[in-house]
Structure 1
């Protein structure tokens, strides 16, 4: 296996947005493109975010596709469930209408256009990816819960939102590579939870009783986010706070993949990781 990235302990350090570097990559049997930036990525600029996402998400994918399009490699690309046009439907399957909702998901759609030109390519479409180190809004939940015995969140928090463990995403990538499957494959656990249920799982795991849930009206949050150019909360994040976000995994199950982590287990494990990290900082003690 050969790895590449701009930083970190990889075999071939370099920038995939650099066409010269990408052209120098070796021939391989399988290409897995999970190189991308998100809203929470360190270094996302306050201004000129569109060009930042285009360089890292679109240009990198374009260069990889051009390098391996006719080389015979099995090309596997990691997309995002926000590529589906958000309608609040019961669940999204691989035939649901697609279309980017914000600068991030539009960049992923643009990258997908290049992936579609690669013969036999596969795209993994994960929902919210959880696991150790994937904290997102859970850090705020844990901090509010352990310090004040309450959790505030925008929206009503009653609709289901899917998560998937990062190890389950990795195992799906492996299964797609193993079977040389082509097409789209959603990644999710069969039992999604609502935000309110996430809070219940976290409070039970941390032993915090009688947590008060405070639902903040979503409309003012949407207005403020819009005025900030969707820098307070992105379009995709606002839609997920408003609408159900559940994926069908029929195609993934059909090739023999099975997720190992439930959404409840993911929420609990993230909470334990956050609480443990807080306890390791000077002057802080772990909640019992």
Structure 2
């Protein structure tokens, strides 16, 4: 099968390219900055397309022609201070991809959604299936945009009933080779990766609980959905729910109880001062989203994650400590000098050309 993948150079994208090529599929990769010709991902046919560009619509149609499926992975996480830009990437980009899928006559669209689509967790904190309400976490830009993208898909599904639409809704996704990229998104530029070798304190509210899933397991879920042409939403979360004591043990830190209200004030003030790049919406998302029940993916797709949540966390944190990276621009090695230079210029993650 010929499968086009937007965001093919990122965390899930690289895992998906590996999985698809490894199972004999032809891959068309779309990325703002494709990997070089000597990259291990060079076996894919690459197109350099920025979804915010005015000519992106026509170029996407050309790239999608002849595809049996399109997987849409592109999503903007930074800069968090430029919400208009993020909306153009997230919601506007999804709209362009969907329109190009329809125009090119592609029969199957796989959209990477998120646990962030869901409304806050139930009072009893039980895992929820794909029928849980999809109103998101109001204070999270990421969540609001995920909800908007799914609402767009609802409209497209009603207007184009012959189009098979799959929505994957994974928990937190990690892998060793995404570590440098994750550091750029979450850790202030002045903090070197080596500092993570010993984190003395973990000052968080003890109510935190997290689910993880490995990028390779997400890629497997997407591949299975494509090969089976399975429609509908699928939660993807590995076995195990991690509590604060689990995080502290992996970080080799001592947990210090800090109320969520205090954490919110600290995160919000430091973000507004541009001291770090994570806004308070991400904190609300972490504490507000429900746990995922992945039964449907396991039963209908035959999906079986190969790593537990704890194993994913350990691999990702160890990768961060060692500044592990991959051979694509977005997953490049994190350089302290480069990070500081970009922070000084007001762009802590990447200098993005604005349309």
> Which band: TM-score by shorter chain?
0.7 to 0.9
* Equivalent in the alignment of 1:99: 135
CA positional deviation for 1:177: 0.5
Question: Which of 120, 124, 133 is 2:168 aligned to?
Answer: 124
Corresponding residue number in structure 2 for 1:286: none
TM-score, normalising length: structure 1:
0.81
Aligned to 1:266: 312
Aligned to 2:249: 200
- TM-score, with length taken from structure 2: 0.66
Counterpart CA distance in 2 for 1:189 and 1:111 is 24
1:187 aligns with 2:222: no
* Runs of 4+ residues over 3 Å off in structure 1: 134-140, 142-148, 223-236, 240-245
- Is structure 2 residue 310 aligned with structure 1 residue 275? no
Pairing 1:77-226 to 2, within 5 Å after superposition: 77-88=111-122, 89-101=125-137, 102-116=140-154, 117-118=156-157, 119-132=163-176, 133-134=178-179, 135=182, 146-147=197-198, 150-156=200-206, 158-203=207-252, 211-225=253-267
1:2 maps to which of 22, 28, 31: 28
Tell me what 1:238 maps to. Answer: 283
2:145 match: secondary structure: helix
CA RMSD of aligned residues (A): 2.9
Specify the SS of the correspondent of 2:248.
helix
Say which of 108, 117, 130 aligns to 1:74: 108
Tell me the equivalent position of 1:206: none
1:249 aligns with 2:291: no
Hey, what's the Cα distance between the residues in 2 that align with 1:92 and 1:151? 32
| Residue 170 (structure 1) shift | 0.6
Which consecutive unaligned segments of at least 5 residues does structure 2 have? 1-26, 36-44, 158-162, 325-332, 336-355
Shift of 1:144: 6.1
The residue aligned with 2:73 is 34
Q: CA contact under 8 A between 1:193 and 1:264: conserved in structure 2?
A: yes
- Asked if the contact 2:234–2:296 (Cα under 8 Å) also holds between the matched residues in 1, the reply is yes
Give the CA deviation at 1:230.
Answer: 11
Change (3 A) 1:54 1:31: same
Aligned-partner Cα distance in 2 for 1:274–1:256: 31
Measure the CA separation in 1 of the matches of 2:99 and 2:197: 50
By how many angstroms is 1:99 displaced? 1.4
Mapped to 1, the partners of 2:281 and 2:303 lie a distance apart of 28
Q: 1:229 to 1:121 in 2, by over 3 A?
A: farther
The question of whether the paired residues in 1 share the 8 Å contact of 2:80 and 2:279 is answered with no
1:54 equivalent in alignment to 2:87 = yes
Bigger shift: 229-238 or 216-225?
229-238
Which of 41, 56, 63 does residue 96 from structure 2 map onto? 63
The runs of 5 or more residues in structure 1 that have no matched partner are 204-210, 283-288
Change over 3 Å in CA distance of 1:239–1:28 after alignment to 2: same
Q: CA deviation at 1:250?
A: 1.0
How many pairs are equivalent?
A: 265
